[in-house]
Amino acid sequence: MYKEGFIEVTGGRVWYQKFDENGNGTPLLVLHGGPGSSCFSLQVLKALSKDRRVILYDQLGCGRSDRPTDKSLWRIERFVEEVGQVREALHLDEVHILGHSWGTTLAAAYALTKTSGINSIIFSSPCLSAPLWEQDQKRNLQKLPVEVQKTIKENGTTDSEEFEAAIEVFAQHFVNRMEKKPEWLEQRPPEYRNDEIYNIMWGPSEFTVLGNLKNFDCTEQLKEITCPTLFSCGRYDEATPETTEYYSNLTPGSTFHVFEKSAHMPYIEESEEFLEVMDDFLKNIDRK
């Protein structure tokens, strides 16, 4: 069964979709990456709906959600509030949360408000420290051809064609390593993205964090997350295995998994294994 609609949140309406094949498992709420992206690429997660409701939504300002012009809305505190409003509207009293990339930043910030009813959190390709993320990208950059490194370092805040080409090389190494991307992914409408949100919250590129998330770092608080957690990433991920495992080690009783053939999008690059790992984790929690 499939349903879609809009939910009123602070600043406007967010668009959501709910997949439900009448499974009895605890619902899964998915928080997409970005900031300023959409849940479009995460459609594969609907396969988990055979055992539970799966809810995806486009955060305010991007995808199919409203696009208010008030720039003061683009801060993590409002997005945290938005998660709670989505849960309330959909009656998600008990919930698993899966965040990907920036979605893990949001998931951690939300969990650290000590809200009730979170049965588990999946941190997929996590960014839980902006300073660590920036350091990791500088190290990743050193693995690329010298000319690519030079272009990115010298043009890190521009929209030049040379910079875009260099970023594409970076993406082929650390974002999605598939030689041929799925046709449905290539059809993602470019207007779903909102670069203004990305620039305000993050900055001009992955390598230059100048936005209001610049000092975000919740590593010291990870010990306060007491629900079951799974940390996962690709072997060649922007969210490096070393840093992802570091986060996992800071979180009591967490599980850590690396997808050996993937970069930042293992849910597409190794979708079968990704779904299997997620399904096993969620079912184990539901049994307890």
Residues carrying an active site annotation: 101, 237, 264
Token pair recorded at residue 48: 């988990």
Concatenating the DSSP letter of every residue in the chain gives: -EEEEEEEETTEEEEEEEE--S--EEEEEEE-STTT--SGGGGGGGGGGGTEEEEEEPPTTSTTS-----GGG-SHHHHHHHHHHHHHHTT-SSEEEEEETHHHHHHHHHHTTT-S-EEEEEEES---BHHHHHHHHHHHHTTS-HHHHHHHHHSTT---HHHHHHHHHHHHHHT---SS--HHHHT--GGG--HHHHHHHT-SBTTB--STTTT-B-GGGGGG--S-EEEEEETT-SS-HHHHHHHHHHSTT-EEEEETT-SS-HHHHTHHHHHHHHHHHHHHHHH-
What pLDDT sits at residue 160?
A: 79
What pLDDT sits at residue 153?
A: 80
Cβ proximity of 108 and 225 under 8 Å: yes
Closest CA to 215 of 68, 76, 93, 83: 76
Closest CA to 207 of 145, 151, 133: 133
Q: What's the CA gap between 63 and 16, in Å, rounded?
A: 10
What pLDDT sits at residue 51?
A: 93
Going residue by residue through the chain (288 aa), what tens digit of pLDDT does each one get?
899 999 999 999 999 999 987 778 999 999 999 999 999 999 999 999 999 999 999 999 999 999 999 999 999 999 999 999 999 999 999 999 999 999 999 999 999 999 999 999 999 999 999 999 999 999 999 999 999 998 888 765 567 788 888 999 999 999 999 999 999 998 889 999 999 999 999 998 888 899 999 999 999 999 999 999 999 999 999 999 999 999 999 999 999 999 999 999 999 999 999 999 999 999 999 987
What pLDDT sits at residue 156?
A: 57
What pLDDT sits at residue 157?
A: 59
What pLDDT sits at residue 202?
A: 96
Distances (CA, A) of 58 to 93, 101, 283: 20, 14, 26
What pLDDT sits at residue 196?
A: 96
What pLDDT sits at residue 287?
A: 85
What pLDDT sits at residue 80?
A: 98
What pLDDT sits at residue 163?
A: 86
What pLDDT sits at residue 158?
A: 64
